[in-house]
Structure 1
Amino acid sequence: MTDGLDLDILDPASAAVPTAEQCVLGPLLRRRAAATPRAPYALMPDGDLWTYARTLRETEETAAALQALGVAPGQLVLSWLPNGPDALRVWYGVNAAGAVLVPLNTAYRGAILRQVVADSGAEVLVCRPSLAARLREPDGPDGIGAVRTVVLLAGPEDAADEVEALAARLSVHFRVETELRCGQAEFTEPVPAPQPWDPQTVIYTSGTTGPSKGVVSSYAHLYSSCTAAFHGMAGPEDRYLLQLPLFH
């Protein structure tokens, strides 16, 4: 989320803390959408092009849906999705609602899945039905960890009847939703508004030396990391190929 069009972008060597307008998802995206609404932001694997205006709309519609599920500022939300439009809008929607994203490795299953989900303490999980099938043997009568709501976002590999059957099985243990979309006008700005030093994500380590540990990352942390990587090397006309999973 580095703001490559801004002349006031911080030098990577600067010790200054970036402003919310520079690094916090909500104000940064709204500012960019207002300044360059038709400029391209993301080109999806299927060729669909998201402009800044569309990215803002997708973000706020998703944030409004999360708010309708009871997601409040500061709460953690699990996102268990492969790269693509849903992964992007859920990430941004979570942050726009003032909540904290916890992306899960799509290879998780069994003990490591239960450990990470339980350790996060998150109550909402957004995932593909093909992944949610791994939750069919929940850890105890109350499900896995603190999760109470599972949102199923079907992908091209998910048949409608199979999703319906899976939702019925999961609903024994969880509140199950199969949509994550509200009107953009239903979105309300989070109070208190996220600040640069507030948590944006909790990313779990690979667990090579023991159980995976959640690393808390702030908005300023991501801004500083991206600025250090791309400062002076990429401009508004450049494209960056994302070949790594968004949960990493």
Structure 2
Amino acid sequence: MTHAIELAAYPEAAQARDPRIPPRDQVVTRDLIERWHREQPDKVFAVFGDDGETWTYAQLREFTLQTALGLRQLGVRQGDHVLVWLPNSREALRVFFAVNYLGAVFACINTAYKGALLAHVIDNADARVAVIHGDLLARLHEVPTGRLDTVVVVGPKTSAPAPLKTLRYEEALLPNDGTLAAPPRPTQPWDPFALIYTSGTTGPSKGVYCSYLHLYSNAGPETWPFVTRDDRYLINMPMFHIGGMGGTYVMFARGASISFVERFDTAGFWKLVRDTQTTVAFLLGVMATFPPASE
């Protein structure tokens, strides 16, 4: 499997820069992927809680480039929104990094959405390409699908409603070869990284743009100095939530590592922590008050 890539030497903008804004290779996914591949290719980035599989930074780059090439061949361009409707999984992680590697925007939506709320966020996300788990596809038959024209299906083989084009993940996003060109311009720290949807408790979910700099400033090395490059952060919250997406990004930006699971599980929590050598966990609200399960 070969993946050629054009790595343009992007000059810095001629205009004066705010000195508080870090350089791209500290905050932008594309630049960080290449930086960590140069500096620490053999360091483990991800440990998966289901079977202990690990991804090094070199493997992360390989998987990211392959999936980015597949998205690019589907017509995804810099600045485009890509709708992602997946539970936490290896596929979700690959798509997360690949979308941003292209300079596109990761628009991940809650796997519980259906009916009018689902129709609202699909319309609001304004995406042409979606990556969706097969178990969720039936819900698309019940709602308008906005600008969507292509659906990539992960898992069970089912079809999206006509006239949407349905492709299997393995066929569309795991190409065996091809050339991945650099985007037309360098992705900047202030560019949109993700489109995150609010919970919708007071009305329809609102799409909120999040930049690379926003996430980096929120929980990066300067604002969370107690979490270091040597830590491993447990991602047990969904990638459509800032607790999952943000934790993954800020550990990646540190050159650190994550342990990754589909969902929070009280019964297996401490065994998971030990097995994956997790050092940091984020527990939202009531999660931290659950009584420990006997093991």
In which range does the TM-score fall when normalised by the shorter chain? Answer: 0.7 to 0.9
Q: Does 1:53 align with 2:58?
A: yes
Instruction: Give the aligned residue type for 1:146.
Output: R
Task: Write the distance in 2 (CA, Å) between the matches of 1:110 and 1:229.
Answer: 42
Q: Does 1:108 align with 2:101?
A: no
Task: Write the distance in 2 (CA, Å) between the matches of 1:205 and 1:232.
Answer: 28
1:174-189 correspondence runs (5 A):
174-179=164-169, 180-183=173-176, 185-189=178-182
The more displaced of 178-187 and 123-132 is 178-187
- The residue number in structure 1 matching 2:29 is 25
- Cα deviation digits, residues 35-67 of structure 1 (max 9, x gap): 111100011233210000000111111110000
Asked whether the 8 Å contact 2:115–2:143 carries over to 1, the reply is no
Question: Structure 1: 5+ residue runs without aligned partners?
Answer: 1-13
Overall identity of the aligned pairs, in %: 40
Instruction: Give the aligned residue type for 1:175.
Output: K
Asked whether the 8 Å contact 2:64–2:101 carries over to 1, the reply is yes
Q: Does 1:221 align with 2:214?
A: yes
Q: Does 1:145 align with 2:146?
A: yes
1:50-199 correspondence runs (5 A):
50-139=55-144, 144-154=145-155, 158=156, 163=157, 166-167=158-159, 170=160, 172-179=162-169, 180-183=173-176, 185-199=178-192
Residues 214, 128 of structure 1: CA spacing in aligned structure 2 closer, same or farther, 3 A cutoff? same
Query: So what's the TM-score if we normalise by structure 1?
Result: 0.84
Query: So what's the TM-score if we normalise by structure 2?
Result: 0.71
Asked whether the 8 Å contact 2:118–2:143 carries over to 1, the reply is no
- The residue number in structure 2 matching 1:3 is none
Task: Write the distance in 1 (CA, Å) between the matches of 2:208 and 2:225.
Answer: 28
Asked whether the 8 Å contact 2:116–2:143 carries over to 1, the reply is no
Task: Write the distance in 1 (CA, Å) between the matches of 2:23 and 2:212.
Answer: 10
Task: Write the distance in 1 (CA, Å) between the matches of 2:60 and 2:37.
Answer: 8
Residues 224, 183 of structure 1: CA spacing in aligned structure 2 closer, same or farther, 3 A cutoff? farther
Asked whether the 8 Å contact 1:100–1:200 carries over to 2, the reply is yes
- The residue number in structure 1 matching 2:197 is 204
Task: Write the distance in 1 (CA, Å) between the matches of 2:33 and 2:193.
Answer: 15
Asked whether the 8 Å contact 2:85–2:133 carries over to 1, the reply is yes
Q: Any idea what SS the aligned residue of 2:21 has?
A: coil
Measured on the aligned residues, the alpha-carbon RMSD in Å equals: 1.8
Asked whether the 8 Å contact 1:96–1:190 carries over to 2, the reply is no
- The residue number in structure 1 matching 2:239 is 246
1:1-40 correspondence runs (5 A):
16-40=20-44
Instruction: Give the aligned residue type for 1:25.
Output: T
Residues 211, 91 of structure 1: CA spacing in aligned structure 2 closer, same or farther, 3 A cutoff? same
Question: Structure 2: 5+ residue runs without aligned partners?
Answer: 1-17, 242-295
Task: Write the distance in 1 (CA, Å) between the matches of 2:89 and 2:19.
Answer: 34
Q: Any idea what SS the aligned residue of 2:233 has?
A: coil
Asked whether the 8 Å contact 1:152–1:178 carries over to 2, the reply is yes
Answer 1 or 2: higher relative contact order, Cα 8 Å, separation at least 6: 1
Task: Write the distance in 1 (CA, Å) between the matches of 2:41 and 2:69.
Answer: 21
Asked whether the 8 Å contact 1:45–1:84 carries over to 2, the reply is no
In the alignment of these two chains, the number of paired residues is 220
Task: Write the distance in 2 (CA, Å) between the matches of 1:97 and 1:191.
Answer: 10
